Structure 1
């Protein structure tokens, strides 16, 4: 079957949605584009999405990374940032989050050059930045991979989602990875950080995490 496409452009992202794409085509694209590409790919049973993140998207992603690292330094004995690694289940689905993190399984991942979900665990936390590119379509991929928690940020509100035993995500008021952090507090922190120079927002996150660890 010949792939069909839909182009979705905006100030925030440039996206191309292709349907009727084979698994081999997806894997070949990953190989041909290589590791130093600016396009993120997600694949779910024949549907391929290509997205080129904007500066606004990447800036928000960086701020969220700062928050996770500040919390992890206070509340986790170990962690590994896996960035936008390609996580895939052979023959069915693959996804590249804005960011991803290992905590409990950090020691199992450290030092690896590649991650194979046939033998390696999925990340415990992924971050998706939704300015205009809706990440909800990718939730089914994360569920199939077994990702326990998703943070979804649209530039104004942070939503926290936990994977349920039946294989779907439910929005929750508190983080699973960091129970001290609620959706409301995270949103407030991110709103404060939006108007600060980066050194000051780093101090803000570190101070907040230190106060909650007492």
Structure 2
């Protein structure tokens, strides 16, 4: 009965459901009970966030950003691994999070170097605090039609106008190409922008 009610609540709400005051053990037990398609769980400082998987707009932007980033990483001939939305968790830091996209920029990394979040709804746990505890060096947020870049320095994130990991990336070109409606044209214009014929 409770599972059916929770399913209906998740389906009807674009905003996340927050359940406070859980221990890590209670979170892990709840996580097993709510392990179902279309639902993403995050945890920070005793607060469980239950979020319905995002819709087409979110997934399209996420895919476009990922495709553009991978074109650029390949152009630079970097050794990278797309780790997508792998689960990142640390019991001692009381945190569990799944990014929209993530990348290891080098071989045999302990965790991703770059995490990308596409934000289409508000509310929920503090994502930057979660990534800080997971020691992610750089986090990008796409909010509305803007890219915000946060770099971890001395244990705190600071917003920056350039990527520290990809300092030669033309962010104006990236912005413009993310906002092009046609995916194929977006990729072609991006390639042409940094690899002129």
Task: Provide the TM-score with structure 2 as the length reference.
Answer: 0.83
* CA apart distance, 1:47: 0.8
CA contact (8 A) 1:67 1:205 kept: yes
Q: In the TM superposition, what are the counterparts of 1:162-181 in structure 2 within 5 Å?
A: 162-165=151-154, 167-181=155-169
1:125 corresponds to 2:114: yes
1:204 corresponds to 2:189: yes
CA contact (8 A) 2:61 2:178 kept: no
Task: Show structure 1 runs of 5+ residues with no match.
Answer: 1-6, 110-120
SS in 1 for 2:37: coil
2:148 maps to which residue? 159
**Structure 1 residues 63-110: Cα deviation after superposition (integer angstroms, max 9, x where no partner):** 111111111111242111111111011241111111111012xx215x
Change (3 A) 1:210 1:38: farther
1:101 corresponds to 2:103: yes
Supply the distance in 2 between the matched residues of 1:108 and 1:33 (Cα, whole angstroms).
Answer: 32
CA contact (8 A) 1:60 1:155 kept: no
Supply the distance in 1 between the matched residues of 2:77 and 2:150 (Cα, whole angstroms).
Answer: 20
Supply the distance in 2 between the matched residues of 1:208 and 1:134 (Cα, whole angstroms).
Answer: 36
Please, which moves more after superposition, 130-139 or 44-53? 130-139
SS in 2 for 1:108: coil
CA contact (8 A) 1:8 1:17 kept: no
The RMSD of aligned alpha carbons is: 2.7
1:143 corresponds to 2:132: yes
Supply the distance in 2 between the matched residues of 1:136 and 1:19 (Cα, whole angstroms).
Answer: 11
* CA apart distance, 1:55: 1.8
Task: Show structure 2 runs of 5+ residues with no match.
Answer: 1-8
2:39 maps to which residue? 39
Supply the distance in 1 between the matched residues of 2:68 and 2:77 (Cα, whole angstroms).
Answer: 13
Please, which moves more after superposition, 200-209 or 46-55? 200-209
Change (3 A) 1:85 1:76: same
Change (3 A) 1:135 1:67: farther
**Structure 1 residues 148-199: Cα deviation after superposition (integer angstroms, max 9, x where no partner):** 111100131111110111x1111111112211225444323322x2x22x22
CA contact (8 A) 1:70 1:209 kept: no
